[in-house]
């Protein structure tokens, strides 16, 4: 009888990973802005206040109205529309109302991307409280998280979701 030869190759398990990003969908913001603008023209409490909202640049908007109270109310309407479209208010940086001639204005910008400081904060959180086998790497405005165990990655996602961060995060490229 012949012998069967078995060859065992060392199998390397590929690391699983995902990216932590902070992005805002321009189209969703545009939809929220259009809905807010429509509501400002139709609501009775905004009649005669010249309340309006418009784009000022790529990721910035400007709200204006005849009184400080109405421009703040217009901002509240806009925030309400953002929330309905699942856009975190943590990415909205709204200034205080300022007087500009006969009207009051509020400038608001949207922040996207994870800064180096925020990436370090996330990396420290993952190192201190997350599974030990997880590695992090800053890649521009993203943070890549890798591990051999998908369970460890799930634990990191849960950890970050529970953390009280001052910026919104999403998880992409899960492999």
Domains 16-22+113-172 and 26-110 share a fold: yes
Q: Convert the pLDDT of each residue in 30-53 to its tens digit.
A: 999 999 999 999 999 999 999 999
* Of the options 2.40.70.10, 3.30.70.860, 3.30.70.3340, 3.30.530.50, the CATH number for the domain spanning 16-22+113-172: 3.30.70.860
DSSP string computed for the chain: -PPPP--PPPPPPPPEEEEEE----HHHHHHHHHHHHHHHHH-GGGTTTT-EEEE-SSSEEEEEESSHHHHHHHHHHHHHHHHHTT--GGGEEEPPPEEETTEEEEEEEE--S--HHHHHHHHHHHHHHS-TT-EEEEETTEEEEEES-HHHHHHHHHHHHHS--SS--EEE---
Domain ranges of the chain: 16-22+113-172, 26-110
26 pLDDT higher than 70: yes
Q: What is the pLDDT of residue 15?
A: 84
* Mean pLDDT, rounded, for 69-84: 96
The chain-wide mean pLDDT, for the chain, equals: 90
Cα 27 to Cα 30, 35, 142: the distances in Å are: 5, 12, 21
- The strand pairing partners of 111, in sequence order, are none
Q: Which fold has domain 26-110?
A: Alpha-Beta Plaits (3.30.70)
Q: What is the pLDDT of residue 6?
A: 55
Q: Which two tokens stand for residue 87?
A: 């856009």
Q: Which two tokens stand for residue 35?
A: 């809905």
8 pLDDT higher than 70: no
Q: What is the pLDDT of residue 13?
A: 52
Q: Which two tokens stand for residue 80?
A: 């309400």
Which range is least confidently modeled, 5-19, 111-125, 133-147, 158-172? 5-19
Q: Convert the pLDDT of each residue in 117-162 to its tens digit.
A: 999 999 999 999 999 999 999 988 899 999 998 899 999 999 999 9
Q: What is the pLDDT of residue 136?
A: 92
């Amino acid at each position: 009888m012949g012998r069967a030869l078995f060859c065992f190759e060392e199998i390397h398990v590929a690391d699983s990973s995902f990216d932590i990003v902070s992005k805002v969908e321009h189209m969703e913001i545009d939809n929220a802005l259009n809905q807010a603008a429509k509501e400002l023209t139709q609501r009775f409490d905004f009649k005669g206040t010249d309340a309006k909202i418009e784009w000022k640049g790529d990721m910035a908007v400007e709200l204006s109205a005849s009184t400080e109270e109405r421009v703040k109310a217009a901002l509240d309407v806009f925030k309400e529309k953002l929330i309905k479209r699942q856009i975190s208010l943590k990415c909205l940086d709204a200034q205080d109302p300022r007087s500009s001639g006969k009207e009051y204005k509020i400038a608001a910008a949207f922040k996207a991307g994870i800064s180096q400081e925020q990436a370090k904060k996330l990396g420290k959180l993952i190192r201190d409280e997350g599974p030990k086998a997880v590695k992090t790497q800053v890649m521009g405005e993203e943070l890549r998280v890798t591990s051999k165990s998908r369970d460890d990655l799930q634990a990191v996602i849960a950890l970050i979701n529970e953390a009280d961060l001052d910026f919104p995060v999403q998880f992409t490229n899960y492999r």
